[in-house]
Chain A
């Protein structure tokens, strides 16, 4: 697998780090100096070369280590991957989408050979080679959703569409911002978003659902979400909250730059061909404050966003108690100069 993938951990000694290249391509989520919920969806079309949007599924330097972390989470808690019985076909749809995308976009790492329904999959970074029969579960070591998402960064949920609604009825969720698949599985769109403050009243979920019900095959869309995480911990699950909750009380001005991370989710939505379900990959990217402030525009903007974000939102995202410290740290890097619209770094 060579030097392309970091040897790093997302627990214990937290040796995760972003290379200068990874910092430069980090998906900074704020197009302006303030933040409020919005539907903010745009077509998921290929972006600039080298950006996280270049390919349908971004594979980056953290790939191999992230997959190792996922395997550890699943060993501890197999309920992080579940699929209700009628969702198996959607799992196959997702497996096909990912295998075809990766083999097309990263031919040096992934290969897919098809002879009718006899498929041959090669994943070089993870040293996996599998011959199987498409749509025949008995020819894979586990269900299709679990099989392919053990080899793909980001959480995944699969939504069944019926009765003018979407139901979250399958998923692989090991890198989540504090929500439980085991609790939410089977819920409608409004039900699983019930705990989110303010957005219901803004009509965000009604508009988003209306939009998603009409999502077309071959026309995926994307949006950002974000939160804050102390230490580069992927598994900020409610299940393990008693383990990671206490770390929030250990931040100081001396360690916040190194330990506080902005967590950005690149969320994409894809209509699936056979099941008519919607696949929802939620890809988490982490960046430490000290790395983030190396980009002057991001440092200025993050300071203003965190300082001004409404209190219910800071509470829901779980960083209200550390907001004063974050603002104090970030203010050192905000000289008050205007920032340009859009999230790309300024040429400085």
Chain B
């Protein structure tokens, strides 16, 4: 599978790359959905150093928002630890423990949807580790995590533009403005000036 191409350009959005094995004392990998494929490719790139790398690798995996679950392909890699969970909020306590216990030389890799990678980057920074210690690679769904600027509620897995806020019910358009601290795009009321005039929802994110 090839690396995803994301629509548009926006200066507040992170740029995602391709995972490359780096020498490290330990390796932490957080992936969802199609990100499993990027992890398999990463290990393949490690070549003959793969066994030594896998012996110090901890994988945390969850299915993607589209239902893709490729955990079996990760389990088959034979990493020291491979853990499957339902979603990010369930994975978070485990991730925070690993980050809190981290020593110098931890390499962090995250791959899959933008919502997952954004939250991993946020939690890494909150744990006081440098964002540069994290490599990212986008795979799979392009659904967005969006914060309603009015009620501050986060709606996960937004597929259409506009969409309805899952908290306050306002109709929001997805502004091309991204906050790394919130790991979310900004949603702004689309019919504020003409209440009730909501254009049809278009599936922009799949």
Chain B residue with minimal CB distance to A182?
Answer: B152
Given A180-B186, A239-B149, A242-B170, decide whether A187 and B12 contact each other with a Cβ distance below 8 A. yes
Report the separation of the CA atoms of residues A195 and B13 in the bound assembly, to the nearest whole angstrom. 11
Within 8 A of B (CB), among A227-271: 238-242, 245-246, 248-249
Cβ-Cβ contact count across A and B, 8 Å cutoff:
66
Q: Which residues of A contact B204 (CB under 8 A)?
A: none
Chain B residue with minimal CB distance to A249?
Answer: B193
Report the separation of the CA atoms of residues A79 and B11 in the bound assembly, to the nearest whole angstrom. 24
Q: Which residues of B contact A190 (CB under 8 A)?
A: 11-12
Report the separation of the CA atoms of residues A185 and B12 in the bound assembly, to the nearest whole angstrom. 12
Interface status of B195 (Cβ within 8 A of chain A): yes
Interface status of B75 (Cβ within 8 A of chain A): no
If over half of A's interface residues share one DSSP class (helix, strand or loop), that class is named, otherwise mixed; here it is helix
Interface status of B142 (Cβ within 8 A of chain A): no
Question: Does B11 lie within 8 Å of A242, measured CB to CB?
Answer: no
Interface footprint category on A: 20 to 34
Chain B residue with minimal CB distance to A77?
Answer: B152
Rounded to whole Å, the gap between the CB of B126 and the closest CB of chain A is: 11
Q: Which residues of A contact B179 (CB under 8 A)?
A: 183-184, 186-187
Rounded to whole Å, the gap between the CB of A250 and the closest CB of chain B is: 10
Partner of B192, one of A191, A192, A246: A246
Interface status of B25 (Cβ within 8 A of chain A): no
Question: Does A200 lie within 8 Å of B11, measured CB to CB?
Answer: yes
Partner of A193, one of B11, B147, B150, B182: B11
Question: Does A194 lie within 8 Å of B10, measured CB to CB?
Answer: yes
Q: Which residues of A contact B12 (CB under 8 A)?
A: 187, 190-192, 194-195
Question: Does B180 lie within 8 Å of A195, measured CB to CB?
Answer: no
Question: Does B186 lie within 8 Å of A183, measured CB to CB?
Answer: yes
Question: Does B189 lie within 8 Å of A183, measured CB to CB?
Answer: no
Partner of B194, one of A183, A194, A249: A249
Partner of B149, one of A183, A193, A245: A183
Question: Does B192 lie within 8 Å of A241, measured CB to CB?
Answer: yes
Report the separation of the CA atoms of residues A238 and B151 in the bound assembly, to the nearest whole angstrom. 11
Chain B residue with minimal CB distance to A195?
Answer: B177
Rounded to whole Å, the gap between the CB of A183 and the closest CB of chain B is: 5
